[in-house]
Structure 1
Amino acid sequence: MKIDSKPLRYAHAEGHTDVCYSEDGRHIITCGHDGDVRIWLDIEDDDPTSHCVGESALAVCFKDKRLYVATDNHAVQAYTFPAFDKDGIITRFTAPVTQIMSRPKIEVLGCTSENMEAKICSLEGGAPLFVMPDHKGPVLSIAICPNMKYAATASGDGILRVLDIDTQKMVKELSCVPKINTFYAAKVLCRMDFEPSEGKYLAYPNNREIILLDSNSWGQRMTFSHNTIKCAISQCLFSPCGQFLAGSTVAGQIAVWEVQSGACMDIIEHPTSHNVSSMAWSPKGNGVLVYCDVAGQMGMLQNCYGKDSNKISADAESGDVESVERMDDNDEIVDDLIQNYESDDDNGISLEKIKNETLGLVEKDSRPESRVMTALPSTIPPQAPFQPSSTPSHLEHRYMCWNDVGIVRCHNAENGESTIDVEFHDSNLHHGIHLNNYLNHTMASLSTHVLAMACETPSKLVCISLVGSSKEWSVTLPDTEEVLCVTAASGVVACATNARLLRIFTPMGTQRQVLSLPGPVVCLASFNTTVFAVYHHTDPGLSDQHLAMDIIAFNGRQVRSKTVFIPLTPGSKLAWIGTSDAGSPCTCDSTGIVRLYDVTSAIWLPICDTTTHSKGASDSWFMVSVNEQAQKLCAIMCRGATFPLTAPKPIVTELPIQIPVCELDTEKSQYEEQLVRWAHTTSDVDVKAARETSLKLFALACRSEIEQRAIELMELLKDDRLLPLAAKYASRLGRMHLADKLSNLADSWERQTDKLNVATHFQELDTQETYDVTSTEQDLNASLIIPQKTVKKKIENVTPIKPVPIKSSPGGARNPFKKQQDTNKNVQSPLSLTERTLVEVHSTAEATENHDPLKPLAGETFVDWFSRNRQTLEQQNPEMTPSELTRHCIRTFKSSQTNPTEGSQKRKLDESLEESPVTNAPKQSKLSAFAFVKKD
């Protein structure tokens, strides 16, 4: 009987389309380039159930009452069936997932991706069970043996590889795949398949024929071909019984062969000659084959076994009815057995029986229903420990560490020998180091003072001092502990063990501290004498890791710690942690978002999205370091991979630090981004450029006719020198009302000083010493964690204690204990955006200038001088009457005009004389100071 072809029908938008059957064969599931997953009862179903999973979906697979879909975020997402609720993420890639496959006899998923990776994953997710290496192109397909012994992959580098899963070694390698650079350009997908019963054979397409390999000897068993096949065969698929083999060409031809005889049952021509992108046999074993093409159309072939598919289906259904009737006949016997079993067991408690007796329900067996109950959503596995800026340990040539100090490489030879090379960016710091890796070190950390290396087994920490004579020291951990992470800085060396202990050493090997971590460690970082320990503070959720970081500062025997939570992008993992040149902790997750922890405000800031700098979807960035002063971060672009290769040496790229504010393409948002970035990072900000940026933002508000925003900006910045410029600009624009408000703003700042200081909450945030392990008199550790700008701010805000000079008054009345008021005080807000860049710089500059506010200006009259300084003079002489104050000011004004060049020196001399304890002593000669004075 010839194969019957059903008419094609529209399934999805044009593009790669995938199809599969449910395990019972009652539903057809398709996914396509439009991002929808549709569930069909049959090819003639006019109203299929449709679910949107994203912008595109390349692969779909049904296994154990769950659907697994390759979404556009490069993840394999699980869904319940038929409710279609999200049920966890099985695995993630850095490029689109090209195929998801499984078989009834295996409880795993085979997943391939365009990023040259192929994985065998558990159905519950977590770390992959087996990762197939050595692909040099996008992986197009994967096939797994039913007994989980072998796995085969075909990649765009032209190689078909067969690997032994147990030994993880390659057993067969064939050149049968056309070479391509991307999955979207592939016409021949080279979809292969193992014989479904025992995996005796492997069938794979090779040009215009299908070759059958014996899985024992890997020799060619037979070939399947036909003279009417016009072009290359793209994929082949065994029937569920293993007796038939179907293959499709890039021109849409579909042929079915009988495996035993090799005879071709029939060849079906595609009506539109489109390439067939996927095929699926019906699990009912009725000879029905469904397929989809690259145009988004779905078709069906019947009678592929040489028999009428409808009769085969009817026979199968009658067999099911007979089995159901037999089960119904034996229900009473089974119920009696269950009842007798439960009644004989004195200790057994039947919850169903208690419910029936209490609620009066009909008693029935609950065991079959318990198998149908949906299990609770499983959480993702916790992230394993890793070394920042390192590549996977199974590589033959890998980076153990790459940071701003240097590069540590490890080379493993085929004969088992291993070497370590250390290269320093600054050759003046230290010369290169070459070591024989006798202990098989797998982790390393490099600083300007020490090179630290360790391995899990044997648990031994080896450090080489880079200062002086390069002495080496080592420490052996107890037998029950294994090193999981290691870090080194200029003043500390630390390692975390599986016993959740953090062991601290000095650079020369002195054991300094042993601390307990609250959870399983993930990674370590350090800066000077401060250690940053990242660990799991709770179990992971359905898709997120819950990480926390302890910032532990050491100063002698004193230890100060602070715990902060690490933010991550939903569904991502921590990929890198380090510190900037100013000591601020920085992180990068697997989605490429770089964040910086502002120590003074205790907040995390996203400073860069590395994906915006990628050229391809499969590209990723390998983090190296962050430089706050230059507002740059150093990273390495990895094309089609997650880590760089050792040869050739990759190029380090500088990416700009940029806060992701809204509407970043507008001029207003760019100025706002600069102000926010300068406020929270230790950058070399030019005061003139900062003022220009603020003034431009003010000008934009004025041009937009939003005067209230302009006033709000000036109140937010609180810069005394910027305010006159803004008022002058407003007056030039003819906005006199705005200029008057700005002129009165400085006076209102001084009057509202006390009101601003009432906010105790912000005062506490402003004054808390988060990382200081010493008092303010011995603030040695502040520069190790807190940027230097914060230390300057803290010192400048402290009013120095000095004696107040005693000034004479006309009436002789004076108050030597009255507090002198500072009239040139800058009012600063704890919420000021440019507090670090504008206010501090100007306040420091003003403090250094020798400017006397009471000194008359050139050509200034007494009336103008008195009106300008009247408030200051009244505050300095509160006990004088107005007439006395006027006479005193006239004398002061005349004395300043008589000798203006020596005013400052004369005032200093007067102050030194006034500060002398002897004010009315009689005149003495110079030698009398050396005369002998007899003690009483």
Structure 2
Amino acid sequence: MPATRKPMRYGHTEGHTEVCFDDSGSFIVTCGSDGDVRIWEDLDDDDPKFINVGEKAYSCALKNGKLVTAVSNNTIQVHTFPEGVPDGILTRFTTNANHVVFNGDGTKIAAGSSDFLVKIVDVMDSSQQKTFRGHDAPVLSLSFDPKDIFLASASCDGSVRVWQISDQTCAISWPLLQKSNDVINAKSICRLAWQPKSGKLLAIPVEKSVKLYRRESWSHQFDLSDNFISQTLNIVTWSPCGQYLAAGSINGLIIVWNVETKDCMERVKHEKGYAICGLAWHPTCGRISYTDAEGNLGLLENVCDPSGKTSSSKVSSRVEKDYNDLFDGDDMSNAGDFLNDNAVEIPSFSKGIINDDEDDEDLMMASGRPRQRSHILEDDENSVDISMLKTGSSLLKEEEEDGQEGSIHNLPLVTSQRPFYDGPMPTPRQKPFQSGSTPLHLTHRFMVWNSIGIIRCYNDEQDNAIDVEFHDTSIHHATHLSNTLNYTIADLSHEAILLACESTDELA
């Protein structure tokens, strides 16, 4: 069955947000630009525990009960998990660190900073450090080889490097990325990843595809791509079994491939199209947790089951709903061919339930937006008459008995008179205003107050006028003006007094 996208939750304030699971998969851990690390028991957790680690948290990693964070005071800190007790500082940089990761057994961490340096630090003895120099711009991301022989890094200088950990030398460097002068200006944060267990392949998100390189020979093996990818990929992550690879783009698309067959298994679109900046695969089951650049947390379920079977290749964009109660036992046997227990709901459009592969592919246009089709299942206001469904079921049964091919397209549909939801309404235009002015409803109000002077407006029973006073009376003297045109906005300089009012037919 297709992956199920749960509604997203607010996690942190707007900005880069990261996510990971603990070793058992019991907790989801996120960090964000508000400086908090939040510990979620599940996506439905209404009161997640939080640990304040600094003014901003740029990255976090969790292993063996140790929570490591890269924070805005240019340090890599350690806290106990889940207690959140501070446990020291592992290392410092001259500017903020952008990414921190654990190695496979949790004994070492690697951190990359905007001062172009990469450091590997022993968690138990922080004096045991190795520094890697060679990048010419801020470091974007890091990934440990599962065998602890190599470390991969991506940088704003446009290069992806593989380092030999033992002697701190660069084994290979590829000029794959677009150059930038800082992380905030980078087109992609290029979260690369080694294949788990064997480390046979290194996956690197480059533009609209994922490039895979073979270990030690460093030869380019193949690319993973999809026609629905319209923007740059930001991040990749492997399933724990190493069979599947998930990637997230800067316009909110999440793609899952079977690496062996190179087939696209899942396509899931972020409900608001925000950039995916965090992806984490559950250590034991088919769950992917993800975060966006607005601080929200999301969850995909049923991406693949424990036996390794993949889910459907349909575009999964709907929330799970149960329609069992709509039908009795007799009718369910017929209607079950086209009504399943996991109908998917997309708020921005409706679609028909079609079983052939060609129509499934037609649900998305080249831009990645779904085509609009009427759906046989809607909410209570738009639901189809049950008798109509029963009639359709009996028609199908009769056609099967006659040996003719039945088609769900022939069923009569009751269409809703309510217009389809085409997106949010435009924000009302803001009314004109002047900085430093007081509200319009006041009878005595300031229209402007700046370094030149003050303009006051009086509108009461005795007078409707405007007074202008200058701070330096040796240059300009005070002025009194009548306000017959009901001026509401003013500005003042050494050369002019500017007044504005609403347009009328007489003025036009």
Q: TM-score, normalized by length of structure 1? A: 0.32
**Structure 2 counterpart of 1:297:** 296
In 1, distance between residues paired with 2:249 and 2:161? 22
Distance 1:106 1:25, change over 3 A: same
Aligned to 1:223: 223
Tell me which residue corresponds to 1:262: 262
> Relative to 1, partners in 2 of residues 1:306 and 1:263: Cα closer, same or farther, differing over 3 Å?
farther
**1:684-699 matches, cutoff 5 A:** none
Q: Quick one: distance in 2 between partners of 1:308 and 1:32?
A: 34
User: Is the CA contact (8 Å cut-off) linking 2:64 and 2:106 kept in structure 1?
Assistant: no
Deviations 1:670-700 (A, max 9, x none): xxxxxxxxxxxxxxxxxxxxxxxxxxxxxxx
Q: CA deviation at 1:169?
A: 2.4
Q: For the Cα contact (< 8 Å) 2:104–2:144, is it kept in 1?
A: no
Structure 2 distance, partners of 1:116, 1:169, is 15
Q: Distance in 1 between matches of 2:296 and 2:78?
A: 25
1:67-106 to structure 2, matched below 5 A, reads: 67-105=67-105
| Map of 2:58 onto structure 1 | 58
- Output the amino acid matched with 1:85: V
1:58 aligned counterpart, secondary structure? strand
Q: Partner residue of 1:121?
A: 121
| Cα offset, 1:186, TM superposition | 2.5
Aligned counterpart, 2:209:
209
1:879-916 alpha-carbon deviations (Å, 9 max, x no partner): xxxxxxxxxxxxxxxxxxxxxxxxxxxxxxxxxxxxxx
SS of residue in 1 equivalent to 2:57 = coil
- Deviation string 1:148-205 (CA, Å, 9 cap, x unpaired) is 1111111111111112122332221111122121222224011111111021111111
Report the secondary structure of 1:184's partner residue. helix
1:214 & 1:231 partners in 2: Cα distance? 26
2:25 maps to 1:25 = yes
* Counterpart Cα distance in 2 of 1:103 and 1:256: 24
* Higher strand content, 1 or 2: 2
- Structure with bigger RCO (C-alpha 8 Å, 6+ apart): 2
What is the letter of the counterpart of residue 213 of structure 1?
Y
Matches of 2:137 and 2:128, distance apart in 1: 20
For residues 125 and 183 of structure 2, what CA distance do their matches in structure 1 show? 25
Q: CA deviation at 1:223?
A: 1.3
Map of 2:195 onto structure 1: 195
Alignment of 1:351-750 (within 5 A): none
Distance 1:237 1:122 in 2: 24
Deviations 1:322-350 (A, max 9, x none): xxxxxxxxxxxxxxxxxxxxxxxxxxxxx
- Name the residue aligned to 1:111: 111
Partners of 1:186 and 1:95 in 2: CA distance = 17
The residue identity in structure 2 corresponding to 1:237 is T
Would you say the 8 A contact 2:104–2:148 is kept in 1?
A: no
**Residue of structure 1 equivalent to 2:499:** none
Residue 169 of structure 1 aligns with which residue?
Answer: 169
| Cα distance between partner residues in 2 of 1:156 and 1:190 | 10
* Contact 1:137–1:157 (CA under 8 A) maintained in structure 2: yes
What does residue range 741-890 of structure 1 map to in structure 2 within 5 Å? Answer: none
Q: Distance in 2 between matches of 1:212 and 1:12?
A: 33
Preserved contact between residue 253 and residue 270 of structure 1 (Cα < 8 Å) = yes
Contact 1:119 1:129 in 2 (8 A): yes
Counterpart amino acid of residue 11 in structure 1: G
CA distance in 1, matches of 2:206, 2:66: 33
Q: Which one-letter code corresponds to 2:240 in the other structure?
A: P
Q: Does the 8 Å contact 2:255/2:265 carry over to 1?
A: yes
Task: Name the counterpart of 2:250.
Answer: 250
After TM superposition, the runs of 4+ consecutive aligned structure 1 residues lying more than 6 A away are none
Q: Quickly say closer, same or farther: Cα 1:126–1:306, change in 2 above 3 A.
A: closer
Deviations 1:88-115 (A, max 9, x none): 1111111111111124345211111111
Counterpart code for 1:9:
R
Residue 131 of structure 1 deviates from its aligned partner by 1.5
Match of 2:274 in 1: 274
- The alignment-based identity, stated in percent, is 35
- Please say if residues 187 and 232 of structure 2, whose CA atoms lie closer than 8 Å, have aligned partners that are also in contact: no
Cα distance in structure 1, aligned partners of 2:78 and 2:210 = 33
Give 1:86's aligned amino acid.
P
1:347-387 Cα distance to aligned partner (Å, 9 max, x none): xxxxxxxxxxxxxxxxxxxxxxxxxxxxxxxxxxxxxxxxx
Offset from partner CA, 1:531-588 (integer Å, 9 cap, x none)? xxxxxxxxxxxxxxxxxxxxxxxxxxxxxxxxxxxxxxxxxxxxxxxxxxxxxxxxxx
- Please give the alpha-carbon distance, in whole angstroms, between the structure 2 residues aligned to 1:188 and 1:102: 22
How far, CA to CA, are the matches of 2:266 and 2:185 in structure 1?
29
Which digits, 9 at most, give the CA deviation of each residue in 1:823-843, with x for residues without a partner? Answer: xxxxxxxxxxxxxxxxxxxxx
Given that 1:201 and 1:215 are in contact with CA atoms closer than 8 Å, whether structure 2 keeps it comes out as yes
CA distance in 2, matches of 1:199, 1:220: 15
What's the CA shift string for 1:600-623, capped at 9, x where partnerless?
xxxxxxxxxxxxxxxxxxxxxxxx
Report the equivalent of 1:287. 286
- SS of the residue corresponding to residue 184 of structure 2 reads helix
Q: 2:161 & 2:128 partners in 1: Cα distance?
A: 19
Q: Distance in 1 between matches of 2:216 and 2:14?
A: 41
Pick closer, same or farther for the CA change 1:128–1:117 going to 2, 3 Å: farther
Give the Cα–Cα distance (whole angstroms) in 2 for the partners of residues 242 and 36 of structure 1: 31
Mapped to 2, the partners of 1:146 and 1:28 lie a distance apart of: 22
User: What is aligned with 1:464?
Assistant: none
Distance (whole Å) between structure 2 residues aligned to residue 128 and residue 4 of structure 1: 44
Per the alignment, do residues 105 and 82 of structure 1 end up closer, same or farther by CA in structure 2, a change over 3 Å counting? closer
Residue 237 and residue 124 in structure 1: after superposition, are their counterparts in 2 closer, same or farther (change >3 A)? same
How far has the Cα of 1:128 moved from its partner?
4.9
- Looking at structure 1, the residues matched to 239 and 230 of structure 2 have their Cα atoms a distance apart, in angstroms, of 24
CA contact (8 A) 2:22 2:62 kept: yes
State the secondary structure of the residue aligned to 1:37: strand
Counterparts of 2:38 and 2:6, CA distance in 1: 19
Distance change >3 Å, CA 175–CA 244, structure 1 → 2: same
* Matched position secondary structure for 1:59: strand
Distance 1:129 1:261 in 2: 40
- Structure-1 separation of matches of 2:276 and 2:57: 17
Aligned Cα root-mean-square deviation (Å): 1.9
Residue 269 of structure 1, CA deviation: 0.8
> Judging changes above 3 Å, is the alpha-carbon distance between structure 1 residues 125 and 250 closer, same or farther for their aligned structure 2 residues?
farther
Greater CA deviation, 164-173 or 50-59? 164-173
Q: Give the letter for the 1:171 counterpart.
A: A
> What SS does the aligned partner of 2:124 have?
coil
In 1, the alpha carbon distance for the partners of 2:306 and 2:83 equals 36
Distance 2:300 2:106 in 1: 27
Q: Report the Cα distance in structure 2 between the residues aligned to 1:82 and 1:204, rounded to whole angstroms.
A: 32
Alpha-carbon distance between aligned partners in 1 of 2:173 and 2:53, rounded to the nearest angstrom: 37
Cα distance between partner residues in 1 of 2:87 and 2:151: 27
Contact 1:3 1:306 in 2 (8 A): no
1:186 corresponds to which letter in structure 2? A
